[in-house]
Chain A
Amino acid sequence: QVTLKESGPALVQATQTLTLTCTFSGFSLSTRGMRVTWIRQPPGKALEWLARIDWDDDKFYSTSLKTRLTISKDTSKNQVVLKMTNMDPVDTATYYCGRTYSSTSGDGMDVWGQGTTVTVSS
């Protein structure tokens, strides 16, 4: 069974750096075609794509946020970490991580974590 779970601080101060961890099980991020993506959703608003890391360590970032984001993986720990610098109240959102396995879901994210809510205080 494939599961993912996001973790991180529920509250951060403006200008601080947010570190979120996606811990997964049921698959290996060293398997060809495996990918993990982070997205977010501000309260009452649309989904926003943030970043993706692939089995071969390729990394992709939102064009509007790329200067603030860093994604990395620890295959031995089954974790993907997202760092976002210079947090602002507009970054208040629920952050989700999702898995893509090209063999079964092409470019789509077929399994998601439950999400973690982050509030940025000014």
Chain B
Amino acid sequence: QSVLTQPASVSGSPGQSITISCTGSSRDVGGYNYVSWYQQHPGKAPKLMIYDVNNRPSGVSNRFSGSKSGNTASLTISGLQPEDEADYYCISYTSSISWVFGGGTMLTVL
């Protein structure tokens, strides 16, 4: 069981916006600004989409944005596109001087 809780699945239609939550505690998400988000297509390696809560790496679409409020981090994808359909994982640094992933969220673009 993951320390960080994500919804198992979310869905949206092309052009819509969706938000994926990642809920932890003050010992991880709430205590540090070291939350990243990864996109993973089937059979592929993860791809960094957001780092340090709300920063986009070079080359990642500005349709992807991150935020945090208290112990919950969020990934928002606006203007959904078919290629956004994938699994999404959050990860946070923890007070145990370690990192932990969320359980992952399957995004379906209807």
Contacts from A to B (Cβ < 8 Å): 37, 39, 46-49, 52, 60-63, 96, 98, 104-110, 112-115
Interface size on B, residues (CB 8 A): 27
How would you classify the secondary structure of chain B's contact residues: helix, strand, loop or mixed?
strand
On B, residues with C-beta under 8 Å from A are 2, 34, 36, 38, 40, 45-48, 50-52, 55, 57-58, 89, 91, 93, 96-104
Q: Is the CB of B58 within 8 A of A63?
A: no
Instruction: Decide: A110 near B102, CB < 8 A? Known: A60-B97, A104-B57.
Output: no
Q: A48 to B101, Cβ gap below 8 A?
A: yes
Q: Is the CB of B98 within 8 A of A47?
A: no
Cα–Cα distance between A107 and B34 once the two chains are bound (Å): 6
> Which of A39, A48, A109 interacts with B48 by CB under 8 Å?
A109
Asked if A63 meets B98 with Cβ closer than 8 Å, knowing A46-B2, A47-B38, A47-B104, the reply is yes
